[in-house]
Structure 1
Amino acid sequence: MASPAADDYLKTVYAHTEWQPAPITPSQLAAKLGIAPSSVTEMVKKLAASGLVSHVPYGAVRLTDAGEKRALAMVRRHRLIETWLVREFDYAWDEVHDEAEVLEHTISDRLLEGIDARLGRPRYDPHGDAIPDASGSVTREPFVLLADAAPGHTGRVLRVDDRDPELLRALEAAGLGIGGEVAVLADGVRIAGADVELPAGAAEVVWLSA
Protein backbone atom coordinates (compact mmCIF):
# COMPACT_ATOMS: atom_id res chain seq x y z
CA MET A 1 0.00 0.00 0.00
CA ALA A 2 2.81 2.43 -0.84
CA SER A 3 0.74 5.10 -2.56
CA PRO A 4 -0.11 8.79 -2.06
CA ALA A 5 -3.80 7.89 -1.92
CA ALA A 6 -3.24 5.46 0.96
CA ASP A 7 -1.18 8.06 2.80
CA ASP A 8 -3.97 10.62 2.40
CA TYR A 9 -6.49 8.20 3.88
CA LEU A 10 -4.29 7.41 6.88
CA LYS A 11 -3.50 11.06 7.50
CA THR A 12 -7.20 11.97 7.39
CA VAL A 13 -8.16 9.21 9.82
CA TYR A 14 -5.46 10.39 12.24
CA ALA A 15 -6.38 14.08 11.97
CA HIS A 16 -10.08 13.35 12.64
CA THR A 17 -9.44 12.10 16.17
CA GLU A 18 -6.61 14.47 17.01
CA TRP A 19 -8.84 17.14 18.58
CA GLN A 20 -11.93 15.11 19.50
CA PRO A 21 -12.46 11.49 20.58
CA ALA A 22 -15.06 10.08 18.16
CA PRO A 23 -13.61 7.75 15.49
CA ILE A 24 -14.21 8.51 11.84
CA THR A 25 -16.91 6.74 9.83
CA PRO A 26 -16.57 5.82 6.14
CA SER A 27 -19.12 8.50 5.19
CA GLN A 28 -17.15 11.15 7.09
CA LEU A 29 -13.96 9.94 5.45
CA ALA A 30 -15.58 10.23 2.02
CA ALA A 31 -16.76 13.78 2.78
CA LYS A 32 -13.35 14.92 4.04
CA LEU A 33 -11.54 13.47 1.04
CA GLY A 34 -14.17 14.50 -1.50
CA ILE A 35 -14.40 10.94 -2.79
CA ALA A 36 -17.39 8.72 -3.55
CA PRO A 37 -18.39 6.44 -0.63
CA SER A 38 -17.97 3.36 -2.84
CA SER A 39 -14.35 4.31 -3.53
CA VAL A 40 -13.73 4.82 0.17
CA THR A 41 -15.17 1.38 0.92
CA GLU A 42 -12.75 -0.27 -1.50
CA MET A 43 -9.72 1.61 -0.22
CA VAL A 44 -10.57 0.92 3.41
CA LYS A 45 -10.74 -2.79 2.58
CA LYS A 46 -7.27 -2.60 1.04
CA LEU A 47 -5.89 -0.68 4.01
CA ALA A 48 -7.40 -3.24 6.39
CA ALA A 49 -5.93 -6.11 4.39
CA SER A 50 -2.54 -4.41 4.65
CA GLY A 51 -2.86 -4.14 8.42
CA LEU A 52 -3.02 -0.34 8.45
CA VAL A 53 -6.60 0.13 9.70
CA SER A 54 -9.21 -1.89 11.52
CA HIS A 55 -12.76 -1.79 10.21
CA VAL A 56 -15.99 -3.74 10.30
CA PRO A 57 -18.78 -3.18 7.73
CA TYR A 58 -20.73 0.03 8.48
CA GLY A 59 -18.47 0.68 11.46
CA ALA A 60 -15.80 3.23 12.27
CA VAL A 61 -12.33 3.20 10.75
CA ARG A 62 -9.43 3.10 13.21
CA LEU A 63 -5.69 3.11 12.68
CA THR A 64 -3.63 0.11 13.74
CA ASP A 65 -0.23 0.72 15.32
CA ALA A 66 1.37 0.36 11.89
CA GLY A 67 -1.21 2.70 10.35
CA GLU A 68 -0.69 5.32 13.04
CA LYS A 69 3.09 5.22 12.56
CA ARG A 70 2.69 5.83 8.84
CA ALA A 71 0.03 8.51 9.39
CA LEU A 72 2.29 10.38 11.81
CA ALA A 73 5.08 10.36 9.25
CA MET A 74 2.78 11.97 6.67
CA VAL A 75 1.38 14.46 9.18
CA ARG A 76 4.95 15.45 10.04
CA ARG A 77 5.71 16.05 6.35
CA HIS A 78 2.56 18.09 5.77
CA ARG A 79 2.94 20.34 8.79
CA LEU A 80 6.66 20.94 8.37
CA ILE A 81 6.05 21.96 4.76
CA GLU A 82 3.27 24.35 5.81
CA THR A 83 5.57 25.91 8.40
CA TRP A 84 8.39 26.16 5.85
CA LEU A 85 6.15 27.91 3.32
CA VAL A 86 4.97 30.48 5.87
CA ARG A 87 8.38 31.22 7.36
CA GLU A 88 10.60 31.05 4.28
CA PHE A 89 8.30 32.07 1.43
CA ASP A 90 5.85 34.45 3.10
CA TYR A 91 2.78 32.34 2.42
CA ALA A 92 -0.29 33.29 4.46
CA TRP A 93 -1.78 30.65 6.75
CA ASP A 94 -4.78 30.29 4.45
CA GLU A 95 -2.57 29.50 1.41
CA VAL A 96 -0.43 26.60 2.56
CA HIS A 97 -2.72 23.59 2.95
CA ASP A 98 -3.23 22.75 -0.72
CA GLU A 99 0.44 23.43 -1.53
CA ALA A 100 1.56 21.07 1.23
CA GLU A 101 -0.86 18.40 0.01
CA VAL A 102 1.16 18.24 -3.21
CA LEU A 103 4.67 18.66 -1.83
CA GLU A 104 4.34 16.14 0.98
CA HIS A 105 4.37 13.30 -1.55
CA THR A 106 7.37 14.52 -3.52
CA ILE A 107 10.16 15.73 -1.22
CA SER A 108 12.83 13.33 0.03
CA ASP A 109 13.45 12.38 3.65
CA ARG A 110 16.78 14.19 3.41
CA LEU A 111 15.13 17.45 2.35
CA LEU A 112 12.49 17.07 5.06
CA GLU A 113 15.20 16.68 7.70
CA GLY A 114 16.93 19.76 6.30
CA ILE A 115 13.71 21.77 6.49
CA ASP A 116 13.15 20.67 10.10
CA ALA A 117 16.68 21.64 11.09
CA ARG A 118 16.55 24.99 9.29
CA LEU A 119 13.30 25.90 11.02
CA GLY A 120 14.72 25.05 14.45
CA ARG A 121 12.64 21.88 14.81
CA PRO A 122 9.29 23.61 15.36
CA ARG A 123 6.69 21.93 17.53
CA TYR A 124 3.61 23.48 15.91
CA ASP A 125 2.55 24.45 12.39
CA PRO A 126 1.01 27.84 11.41
CA HIS A 127 -2.48 26.63 12.42
CA GLY A 128 -1.37 25.37 15.84
CA ASP A 129 -1.36 21.67 14.96
CA ALA A 130 1.41 19.69 16.66
CA ILE A 131 4.27 18.56 14.42
CA PRO A 132 5.35 15.00 15.28
CA ASP A 133 9.09 14.65 15.76
CA ALA A 134 11.16 12.18 13.74
CA SER A 135 10.24 9.37 16.15
CA GLY A 136 6.51 10.10 15.88
CA SER A 137 6.19 11.68 19.32
CA VAL A 138 3.63 14.46 19.65
CA THR A 139 3.32 17.13 22.36
CA ARG A 140 -0.08 18.74 22.88
CA GLU A 141 -1.45 20.68 25.86
CA PRO A 142 -5.00 20.39 27.27
CA PHE A 143 -7.55 22.15 25.07
CA VAL A 144 -11.21 23.07 24.72
CA LEU A 145 -13.19 23.75 21.56
CA LEU A 146 -14.42 27.35 21.52
CA ALA A 147 -18.00 26.11 20.99
CA ASP A 148 -17.70 24.15 24.27
CA ALA A 149 -16.00 26.89 26.30
CA ALA A 150 -18.21 28.45 28.96
CA PRO A 151 -18.65 32.23 29.22
CA GLY A 152 -15.89 33.57 31.42
CA HIS A 153 -13.27 31.14 30.11
CA THR A 154 -10.05 32.77 28.95
CA GLY A 155 -7.45 30.88 26.96
CA ARG A 156 -4.80 31.11 24.29
CA VAL A 157 -5.67 30.10 20.75
CA LEU A 158 -4.01 26.71 20.34
CA ARG A 159 -5.35 25.66 16.98
CA VAL A 160 -7.53 26.75 14.08
CA ASP A 161 -8.78 24.23 11.53
CA ASP A 162 -7.18 24.96 8.16
CA ARG A 163 -9.67 23.50 5.71
CA ASP A 164 -11.63 26.70 4.96
CA PRO A 165 -9.30 29.44 3.63
CA GLU A 166 -12.11 32.02 3.57
CA LEU A 167 -12.89 31.42 7.25
CA LEU A 168 -9.18 31.64 8.10
CA ARG A 169 -9.01 35.04 6.42
CA ALA A 170 -12.12 36.21 8.29
CA LEU A 171 -10.68 35.08 11.63
CA GLU A 172 -7.41 36.88 10.91
CA ALA A 173 -9.36 40.03 10.03
CA ALA A 174 -11.16 39.73 13.38
CA GLY A 175 -7.80 39.73 15.15
CA LEU A 176 -7.72 36.06 16.07
CA GLY A 177 -4.39 34.27 15.69
CA ILE A 178 -2.43 31.38 17.14
CA GLY A 179 -1.15 32.22 20.62
CA GLY A 180 -3.49 35.19 21.07
CA GLU A 181 -5.65 35.38 24.18
CA VAL A 182 -9.42 35.05 23.83
CA ALA A 183 -12.00 35.67 26.55
CA VAL A 184 -15.31 33.91 25.99
CA LEU A 185 -18.41 36.07 26.45
CA ALA A 186 -22.07 35.13 26.45
CA ASP A 187 -22.56 36.58 22.97
CA GLY A 188 -19.09 36.61 21.44
CA VAL A 189 -15.46 36.89 22.46
CA ARG A 190 -13.03 39.54 23.62
CA ILE A 191 -9.73 39.85 21.76
CA ALA A 192 -7.07 42.38 22.74
CA GLY A 193 -9.58 44.20 24.94
CA ALA A 194 -12.22 44.56 22.22
CA ASP A 195 -15.53 42.70 22.05
CA VAL A 196 -15.67 40.79 18.76
CA GLU A 197 -18.42 38.88 16.99
CA LEU A 198 -16.66 36.09 15.15
CA PRO A 199 -17.85 34.88 11.72
CA ALA A 200 -20.32 32.02 11.43
CA GLY A 201 -18.75 28.64 12.07
CA ALA A 202 -15.75 30.05 13.95
CA ALA A 203 -16.64 28.42 17.26
CA GLU A 204 -16.38 24.98 15.63
CA VAL A 205 -12.88 25.47 14.23
CA VAL A 206 -11.03 27.26 17.06
CA TRP A 207 -9.46 25.49 20.05
CA LEU A 208 -8.33 27.30 23.21
CA SER A 209 -6.05 26.29 26.04
CA ALA A 210 -8.06 24.64 28.79
Structure 2
Amino acid sequence: MSVSSLTNAAQDYLKAIWSATEWEQTPVTVTALAARFGVRAATVSDGIRRLTEQGLVVHQPYGAVTLTETGRAHAVAMVRRHRLIETFLVETLGYPWDEVHDEAEVLEHAVSDTLIDRIDAALGHPVRDPHGDPIPTPQGDPRTPNGLRLTAAEPSRPMRIVRISDADPAVLRYLTEHGIGLDARATLVETRPFAGDVVVSIDDAAPITMGAVAAEAIWVTSAA
Protein backbone atom coordinates (compact mmCIF):
# COMPACT_ATOMS: atom_id res chain seq x y z
CA MET A 1 0.00 0.00 0.00
CA SER A 2 1.38 3.39 -1.02
CA VAL A 3 0.50 6.65 0.68
CA SER A 4 -1.25 7.83 -2.50
CA SER A 5 -3.67 4.89 -2.25
CA LEU A 6 -5.06 6.19 1.04
CA THR A 7 -8.01 8.55 1.26
CA ASN A 8 -7.34 12.23 1.90
CA ALA A 9 -8.79 11.87 5.39
CA ALA A 10 -6.51 8.94 6.19
CA GLN A 11 -3.48 10.90 4.96
CA ASP A 12 -4.50 13.86 7.12
CA TYR A 13 -4.94 11.72 10.23
CA LEU A 14 -1.55 10.05 9.84
CA LYS A 15 0.20 13.37 9.26
CA ALA A 16 -1.51 14.97 12.25
CA ILE A 17 -0.65 12.06 14.56
CA TRP A 18 3.01 12.17 13.60
CA SER A 19 3.32 15.97 13.65
CA ALA A 20 1.82 16.20 17.14
CA THR A 21 4.81 14.38 18.60
CA GLU A 22 7.55 15.83 16.39
CA TRP A 23 8.61 18.72 18.62
CA GLU A 24 7.26 17.55 21.95
CA GLN A 25 5.85 14.31 23.29
CA THR A 26 2.15 15.08 23.48
CA PRO A 27 -0.20 12.05 23.61
CA VAL A 28 -2.51 12.02 20.61
CA THR A 29 -6.12 11.19 21.48
CA VAL A 30 -9.33 10.97 19.49
CA THR A 31 -10.54 14.08 21.31
CA ALA A 32 -7.42 16.02 20.34
CA LEU A 33 -7.74 14.97 16.70
CA ALA A 34 -11.41 15.97 16.67
CA ALA A 35 -10.45 19.41 17.95
CA ARG A 36 -7.65 19.65 15.41
CA PHE A 37 -9.95 18.93 12.46
CA GLY A 38 -13.09 20.53 13.83
CA VAL A 39 -15.21 17.39 13.58
CA ARG A 40 -17.10 15.16 16.00
CA ALA A 41 -15.13 12.63 18.04
CA ALA A 42 -17.31 9.88 16.55
CA THR A 43 -16.11 10.84 13.08
CA VAL A 44 -12.48 10.57 14.15
CA SER A 45 -13.16 7.27 15.92
CA ASP A 46 -14.48 5.79 12.68
CA GLY A 47 -11.42 6.99 10.79
CA ILE A 48 -9.01 5.66 13.41
CA ARG A 49 -10.82 2.32 13.41
CA ARG A 50 -10.26 2.01 9.66
CA LEU A 51 -6.60 2.94 10.03
CA THR A 52 -6.27 0.30 12.76
CA GLU A 53 -7.78 -2.32 10.46
CA GLN A 54 -5.24 -1.33 7.79
CA GLY A 55 -2.38 -1.81 10.25
CA LEU A 56 -1.42 1.87 10.24
CA VAL A 57 -2.19 2.85 13.83
CA VAL A 58 -2.63 1.31 17.25
CA HIS A 59 -5.41 2.61 19.46
CA GLN A 60 -6.39 1.36 22.86
CA PRO A 61 -9.94 2.34 23.89
CA TYR A 62 -9.86 5.77 25.58
CA GLY A 63 -6.09 5.82 25.15
CA ALA A 64 -3.55 7.45 22.88
CA VAL A 65 -3.32 6.81 19.16
CA THR A 66 0.13 5.75 17.93
CA LEU A 67 1.54 4.92 14.52
CA THR A 68 2.79 1.53 13.42
CA GLU A 69 6.02 1.44 11.40
CA THR A 70 4.01 1.41 8.17
CA GLY A 71 1.79 4.22 9.41
CA ARG A 72 4.82 6.24 10.41
CA ALA A 73 6.39 5.81 6.95
CA HIS A 74 3.19 7.06 5.28
CA ALA A 75 2.92 9.97 7.72
CA VAL A 76 6.50 11.10 7.10
CA ALA A 77 5.90 10.89 3.33
CA MET A 78 2.90 13.21 3.69
CA VAL A 79 4.87 15.61 5.87
CA ARG A 80 7.60 15.69 3.21
CA ARG A 81 5.02 16.53 0.53
CA HIS A 82 3.45 19.28 2.62
CA ARG A 83 6.68 21.01 3.56
CA LEU A 84 8.22 20.85 0.11
CA ILE A 85 5.06 22.37 -1.36
CA GLU A 86 5.14 25.16 1.25
CA THR A 87 8.77 25.85 0.40
CA PHE A 88 8.03 25.88 -3.33
CA LEU A 89 5.14 28.30 -2.86
CA VAL A 90 7.32 30.72 -0.87
CA GLU A 91 10.60 30.49 -2.75
CA THR A 92 9.32 30.07 -6.31
CA LEU A 93 5.86 31.61 -6.41
CA GLY A 94 6.42 34.36 -3.86
CA TYR A 95 3.71 33.43 -1.39
CA PRO A 96 4.04 34.99 2.08
CA TRP A 97 4.73 32.41 4.78
CA ASP A 98 1.38 32.99 6.47
CA GLU A 99 -0.60 31.88 3.38
CA VAL A 100 1.07 28.64 2.34
CA HIS A 101 -0.23 26.17 4.92
CA ASP A 102 -3.80 25.99 3.64
CA GLU A 103 -2.64 25.83 0.01
CA ALA A 104 -0.28 22.97 0.83
CA GLU A 105 -3.05 21.13 2.70
CA VAL A 106 -4.94 20.92 -0.60
CA LEU A 107 -2.05 20.32 -3.00
CA GLU A 108 -0.34 17.60 -0.95
CA HIS A 109 -3.15 15.17 -1.82
CA ALA A 110 -2.98 15.83 -5.56
CA VAL A 111 0.71 15.74 -6.44
CA SER A 112 2.63 12.63 -7.44
CA ASP A 113 5.81 11.37 -5.83
CA THR A 114 7.62 12.19 -9.08
CA LEU A 115 6.53 15.83 -8.93
CA ILE A 116 7.56 16.09 -5.28
CA ASP A 117 11.01 14.73 -6.12
CA ARG A 118 11.35 17.24 -8.96
CA ILE A 119 10.30 20.10 -6.70
CA ASP A 120 12.89 18.91 -4.18
CA ALA A 121 15.62 18.91 -6.84
CA ALA A 122 14.57 22.26 -8.28
CA LEU A 123 14.77 23.84 -4.82
CA GLY A 124 18.24 22.39 -4.20
CA HIS A 125 17.07 19.78 -1.67
CA PRO A 126 16.09 22.12 1.18
CA VAL A 127 16.30 20.75 4.72
CA ARG A 128 13.59 22.92 6.27
CA ASP A 129 10.40 24.66 5.23
CA PRO A 130 9.66 28.41 5.55
CA HIS A 131 8.62 27.96 9.19
CA GLY A 132 11.70 25.97 10.21
CA ASP A 133 10.06 22.55 10.24
CA PRO A 134 12.51 19.94 8.89
CA ILE A 135 11.77 18.39 5.50
CA PRO A 136 12.12 14.59 5.67
CA THR A 137 14.44 12.90 3.21
CA PRO A 138 13.15 10.71 0.34
CA GLN A 139 14.30 7.70 2.40
CA GLY A 140 12.02 8.67 5.29
CA ASP A 141 14.54 10.22 7.68
CA PRO A 142 12.49 12.89 9.48
CA ARG A 143 15.59 14.88 10.43
CA THR A 144 14.30 15.01 13.99
CA PRO A 145 14.64 18.58 15.27
CA ASN A 146 16.33 19.82 18.41
CA GLY A 147 14.65 22.72 20.12
CA LEU A 148 12.35 24.00 22.83
CA ARG A 149 9.75 26.70 23.16
CA LEU A 150 11.12 30.18 23.78
CA THR A 151 8.97 30.37 26.90
CA ALA A 152 10.85 27.36 28.31
CA ALA A 153 14.31 28.75 27.58
CA GLU A 154 16.71 29.75 30.32
CA PRO A 155 16.36 33.50 31.00
CA SER A 156 19.22 35.75 29.81
CA ARG A 157 20.72 32.98 27.68
CA PRO A 158 21.04 33.87 23.96
CA MET A 159 19.23 31.38 21.75
CA ARG A 160 18.64 31.00 18.00
CA ILE A 161 15.14 30.80 16.52
CA VAL A 162 14.82 27.50 14.65
CA ARG A 163 11.07 27.19 14.21
CA ILE A 164 7.94 29.32 14.22
CA SER A 165 4.70 27.38 14.34
CA ASP A 166 2.37 27.98 11.40
CA ALA A 167 -0.75 27.01 13.38
CA ASP A 168 -2.01 30.61 13.44
CA PRO A 169 -1.39 32.85 10.38
CA ALA A 170 -2.13 35.93 12.51
CA VAL A 171 0.86 35.10 14.71
CA LEU A 172 3.08 34.81 11.64
CA ARG A 173 1.94 38.23 10.44
CA TYR A 174 2.53 39.71 13.89
CA LEU A 175 6.08 38.35 14.03
CA THR A 176 6.78 39.57 10.49
CA GLU A 177 5.68 43.08 11.48
CA HIS A 178 8.19 42.96 14.32
CA GLY A 179 11.01 41.60 12.16
CA ILE A 180 11.14 38.26 13.94
CA GLY A 181 12.05 35.27 11.81
CA LEU A 182 14.16 32.14 11.55
CA ASP A 183 17.79 32.26 12.69
CA ALA A 184 17.33 35.49 14.65
CA ARG A 185 18.93 35.60 18.10
CA ALA A 186 16.36 35.58 20.87
CA THR A 187 16.92 36.09 24.57
CA LEU A 188 14.16 35.52 27.09
CA VAL A 189 14.46 38.43 29.50
CA GLU A 190 11.48 37.84 31.73
CA THR A 191 8.35 35.71 31.94
CA ARG A 192 5.35 37.48 33.47
CA PRO A 193 2.63 34.87 34.01
CA PHE A 194 0.54 37.32 36.02
CA ALA A 195 0.26 39.50 32.90
CA GLY A 196 0.20 36.68 30.36
CA ASP A 197 3.21 37.93 28.42
CA VAL A 198 7.00 37.71 28.19
CA VAL A 199 9.82 40.17 27.64
CA VAL A 200 12.19 39.20 24.83
CA SER A 201 15.23 40.69 23.14
CA ILE A 202 15.64 39.93 19.42
CA ASP A 203 19.09 40.23 17.84
CA ASP A 204 20.32 42.05 20.94
CA ALA A 205 17.91 44.95 20.38
CA ALA A 206 15.95 46.65 23.13
CA PRO A 207 13.58 44.20 24.85
CA ILE A 208 9.98 44.03 23.67
CA THR A 209 6.90 42.68 25.38
CA MET A 210 5.27 39.82 23.55
CA GLY A 211 1.99 38.04 24.23
CA ALA A 212 2.16 34.44 25.38
CA VAL A 213 0.46 33.14 22.21
CA ALA A 214 3.18 34.59 19.97
CA ALA A 215 5.99 33.54 22.32
CA GLU A 216 4.68 29.97 22.51
CA ALA A 217 4.90 29.75 18.71
CA ILE A 218 8.66 30.37 18.73
CA TRP A 219 11.09 27.48 19.13
CA VAL A 220 14.75 28.00 19.86
CA THR A 221 18.03 26.17 20.29
CA SER A 222 21.42 27.17 21.68
CA ALA A 223 22.98 30.10 19.83
CA ALA A 224 26.45 28.57 20.17
Any unmatched runs of 5+ in structure 2?
A: 191-197
1:157-196 per-position Cα deviation (integer Å, ceiling 9, x unaligned): 1111101101110011122101111111014110122212
Contact 1:132–1:138, Cα closer than 8 Å, also in 2: yes
The aligned amino acid for 1:189 is V
Any unmatched runs of 5+ in structure 1?
A: none
Aligned-partner SS, 1:68: helix
Alignment of 1:188-199 (within 5 A): 188-192=199-203, 193-199=205-211
Alignment of 1:1-210 (within 5 A): 2-186=6-190, 187-192=198-203, 193-210=205-222
The aligned amino acid for 1:126 is P
> What CA distance in whole angstroms lies between the structure 2 residues aligned with 1:64 and 1:199?
38
Hey, which bits of structure 1, 4+ residues long, moved more than 3 A?
A: none
Contact 1:182–1:189, Cα closer than 8 Å, also in 2: yes
Report the number of matched residues: 210
Contact 1:174–1:198, Cα closer than 8 Å, also in 2: no
Give TM-score scaled by structure 1 length. Answer: 0.96
> What CA distance in whole angstroms lies between the structure 2 residues aligned with 1:178 and 1:35?
33
The aligned amino acid for 1:191 is I
Give TM-score scaled by structure 2 length. Answer: 0.90
> What CA distance in whole angstroms lies between the structure 1 residues aligned with 2:151 and 2:65?
26
> What CA distance in whole angstroms lies between the structure 2 residues aligned with 1:11 and 1:29?
11
> What CA distance in whole angstroms lies between the structure 1 residues aligned with 2:177 and 2:144?
27
